[in-house]
Amino acid sequence: MTFLSKPMTVWRLIAKEILHRKLNFALGVFSVMAASGVVVAQFTLLRAHDLSTEHILQAKHAKAEVRLAKMEDDYRKYMKELGFNLLILPKEQDLTEFWESGFASATMPESTVTTLANSKKILVRHLLPIVQQRIDWPEQKRRIILMGTRGEVPLVHRKPLEPMLLAVPAGQCVVGYELARDLDIKPGQTITLRGTSMEVQHVRSECGTAEDATIWVGLADGQKLLGLEGRINAIEALKCHCVGVSSAQTRQEVVGILSGQVKVVLRENKVTLRAKARDRAKAEHVQAMASELASRNRLKQNRESLAGVIVPAVLLAAAVWIGLLTLSNVRERATEIGILRAIGVRGRSIIGVFFTRAMVTGLLGAALGYAAGLTIGIIVQRSSPSLRVESAGELFEPLLMIIVLVAAPLLAMLASWAPAMLAGKQDPAVILARE
């Protein structure tokens, strides 16, 4: 059976009618196409915005990652060379007082440093036990800082390193720059401090700190002068090598080894400054990313607001236009409707004819509109510096296509509702009597 010898069907009737009234149909398709195109273009641009935002943030993140990785590497190198500098104080030491006076008043056993040095867990490389007090120098009628140290305590399980600080030999002292200048003290000269005579080993060069008013002696001499035999105020832990381990972990380790009998203060040095810089860079990066995201979101909100106005307006205009075109079609086909009703075609079949026609109009318009909208979206995206995507293919969204292909025919049918109902309710007797 050929097509022509088949009985008449609604589809065939619609196809023939569409071919007969091409302009009416084309105008309907065009309106759906325009509406769908605007919707698709808007959503394509919003998608382009999202993709662009993602790419921008990814690029910035990658750039920051490189920068932070370099900082991390630098930090690691510095750590390798310098490590942390820690100051270990007696547990009882009031830190506020320590920061005010510049040295500790509380003491701890000198054996503490030995315990620390003998620990195999310790990551600290150089340990300097110190006894230190601000005292009166009655012979010169002035106040000075007396510091007693015995130089580096060797770590028994590590190979000996170059000493950080040479010990002051017993009976000798080192004098700070200001004291020497003020009192005209020269190396080789003998001075008397609290009744104890000692030879000046050398005078330190000016350093512009409290050290200029300090006298260094051997630890034992210092303990004796201060009446603190077997006691120390502090331990300087210098050049701690702790690759991959944070200062906090190192501090915890020291406290643990010494059974919680000490307080550990992190001395600021190049390493800590680097660490701070790294943390600051990280924070800045996070803030910059958040700021960029907020900026992009604001831009997106603007675009969404625009789409929120344009899309409903275009859809409404298209719906009204399709409704008018369908009404025009119904009126033009009044006689046809009359005769079809007269020969027994039911009212709902007539309604079905107009709904099906609207559905075909919507489907074709949606397909063309999707293609047009996607093309327009791609063109606009390419001409907009704020909408960068890697490839146009990224802008294709199957879900949007499905939604448009389903929604547009439904919208066209909805817009044709009233005219289709009017067609179905037309009284054939009235039409035929009029003719």
Partner 1 sequence: MLEIHNLSKRYAHGDEPVDAVVDVSLNVAPGEFVGVQGPSGCGKSTLLLAAGGLLAGDSGHVLLDGQDPYALDPDARAALRARRVGFVFQQFHLVPYLSVLDNVLSPSLAMMTDGAAGRAKMLIEHFGIGDRLHHKPGELSTGERQRTALARALLNRPGIILADEPTGNLDAESARDVLEYLTEFTRDGGAVLLVTHDDRASGYAQRTVRMRAGRIVEG
Buried-exposed string 156-181: b where 16+ CB fall within 10 A, e elsewhere: eeeeeeeeeeebbeeebbbbbbbbbe
Q: Is 309 in the site for partner 1 (CB under 8 A)?
A: no
Residue from 69, 316, 342, 418 binding partner 1 (CB under 8 A): 342
Q: Which residues contact 43 (CB under 8 A, 6 or more apart)?
A: 307, 373, 377, 397, 400
Residue from 47, 49, 274, 341 binding partner 1 (CB under 8 A): 341
CB atoms within 10 A of CB 363: 17
Min CB(362)–partner 1 separation in Å: 21
Using the minimum distance from each CB to partner 1, give the nearer residue, 44 or 329. 329
Q: Is 343 in the site for partner 1 (CB under 8 A)?
A: yes
Residue from 68, 265, 345, 401 binding partner 1 (CB under 8 A): 345
Residues in contact with partner 1, shown as a per-residue x/- string from 395 to 434 under the rule CB under 8 A: ---------------------------------xx--xx-
Backbone angles phi, psi at 23, to 5 degrees: -65, -45
Residue from 94, 211, 336, 394 binding partner 1 (CB under 8 A): 336
The residues with which 197 forms a beta bridge, in sequence order, are 192
Which listed range, 9-17, 112-120, 127-135, 275-283, lies at the site for partner 1 (CB under 8 A)?
9-17
Contact 307, 42 (CB under 8 A): yes
Using the minimum distance from each CB to partner 1, give the nearer residue, 3 or 99. 3
Using the minimum distance from each CB to partner 1, give the nearer residue, 180 or 359. 359
Structure tokens at 237: 């832990």
- Applying CB under 8 A, the site for partner 1 has a residue count of 34
Backbone angles phi, psi at 388, to 5 degrees: -100, 125
Using the minimum distance from each CB to partner 1, give the nearer residue, 399 or 433. 433
Buried-exposed string 199-238: b where 16+ CB fall within 10 A, e elsewhere: ebbebbeeeeeebbbbbbbbbbbbbbbbebeebbbbbbbb
Q: How would you classify the pairing of strands 142-149 and 126-137?
A: antiparallel
Closest listed residue to residue 122, CA positions, set 316, 258, 268: 258
Q: Is 4 in the site for partner 1 (CB under 8 A)?
A: yes
Q: Is 331 in the site for partner 1 (CB under 8 A)?
A: no
What residues numbered 12-41 form the site for partner 1, per CB under 8 A? Answer: 12-13, 16-17, 19-21
Backbone angles phi, psi at 391, to 5 degrees: -150, 155
Site residues for partner 1 per CB under 8 A: 1, 4-10, 12-13, 16-17, 19-21, 335-336, 338-349, 428-429, 432-433, 435
